[in-house]
Amino acid sequence: MKDYIEQIRSFNRFYTAHLGLLNEHILEGPYSLAEARILYEIGLRQPVSAQELSSVLTLDKGYLSKILKLFINDNVITRQSSKEDSRVYKITLTHSGSKLLKTLQRKSDQQIKAFLEKHSADEVEMLVNSMRTVENLLSADYSNQILSRQVIYREGLKPGDVGYLIHLHGVLYARESGYSQEFEGYVVKTFYEFLEHYDIQRDKIWLATYNDQIIGCIAILPRPDSQAQLRWFLVHPVFRGIGVGKHLLDGALGYCRSQNFRNVYLLTTDVQQKAIAMYEKAGFRPTESIEMNQWGKTLHEERYDLNFHSET
């Protein structure tokens, strides 16, 4: 934790110096960063009350009041009584204020553009994705539901996907289930066998991504006798409990029904109790259990089946 705190402090020092936040005026304009920020929010939300600005910007009302008086004296804003409540004043930009705000925004765009042009497209993408994640995680109303709204689902594999899926399996199963590195070798073999005969029309795999990074996976592979096997069902811990796993599982089972599979089965271990609870809720039932010593543990390999004929 101490290292994390120091890194955040280091980032704060870098950020304030890099953007010139310690300067008296921002973007060579007449106002400080705080004053320019208030001006931007007025332009974005007008007509807006002082109470709304204070709440959005989490600013002290007395401090905000001083800045608003400055803007009035500079003919940047105007205040009028609200039609709904004469005790509330609505703030809007004057013509001069609108012109000033456009100038500041233009300079800001030029500053950002000049910075981005120093970097490659891949570096820009990395930077913007990181900024989006920082904004999400530091949001005042943060919950992982905010992240879930930015999850994108896609079907099929792109170059590099399998390598990252192997990485996720190795890291998460070691951390959460105590599996040895032998498990990662097992996952490598399963994907190698899969890729040897991968048929995009026949073999189905769905991925959930956030900022172009895989955070969830599920696959359906046809098997003899009108059966299908569910494989590689996984969701990153940050994105659990918000519907990502359910979306993947429901989609995969919906596909199985549309293809008229008689039965779909999966192989798991008794260690994976949270996943098993999802499987049972979806209608899977245990059909086989074998005690095994593998991946550095003594565990039970279990088979679960969902017979679609029994649903009707």
pLDDT tens per residue across span 55-114: 888 888 888 889 889 989 999 889 888 777 667 788 899 999 899 889 888 888 887 888
Q: What is the pLDDT of residue 21?
A: 46
Whether 143 maps to a domain, the answer reads no
Q: Mark which of 92, 118, 144 sits at the end of a domain.
A: 118
- pLDDT tens digits along 132-144: 888 888 777 777 7
Helix/strand/coil (H, E, C) string of 158-189? CCCHHHHHHHHHHHHHHHHHCCCHHHHHHHHH
Say yes or no to pLDDT of 38 above 50.
yes
Residue 22 lies in a domain: yes
- Confirm whether 137 is domain-assigned: no
- Which H helix or E strand runs over 85? none
Same domain, 104 and 169: no
Q: Tell me the CATH number at 16.
A: 1.10.10.10
- Measured CA to CA, the distance from residue 168 to residue 295 in angstroms comes to 16
Q: Do 163 and 98 share a structural domain?
A: no
Q: 191 and 113 in one domain? A: no
Per-residue model confidence as pLDDT tens digits over 145-192: 777 888 999 999 999 999 999 999 999 999 998 899 999 999 999 999
Burial class (CB in 10 A: 0-12, 13-18, 19+), 123: exposed
Angle at 216 between CA 166 and CA 283, to 5 degrees: 110
259-282 pLDDT, tens digit each: 999 999 999 998 888 899 999 999
Query: Residue 306: which CATH number?
Result: 3.40.630.30
At which of 63, 95, 118 does a domain end?
118
Q: DSSP secondary structure string, 230-266?
A: EEEEEE-GGGTTTTHHHHHHHHHHHHHHHTT-SEEEE
Kindly state whether residues 193 and 260 are assigned to the same domain: yes
What is the maximal distance between C-alpha atoms in the chain? 82
The verdict on 96 and 180 lying in the same domain is: no
Task: Identify the domain containing residue 63 by its residue range.
Answer: 2-118
Q: Is the residue at 245 inside a domain?
A: yes
Q: Is residue 60 part of a domain?
A: yes
* Least confident segment among 117-121, 181-185, 195-199, 306-310: 306-310
Tell me which residue of 205, 210, 213 sits closest to 168, measured CA to CA.
213
- 63 and 180 together in one domain: no
pLDDT more than 90, % of the chain: 43
Can you give the pLDDT at residue 156? 94
How many domains is the chain partitioned into structurally? 2
Q: Does pLDDT of 284 surpass 90?
A: yes
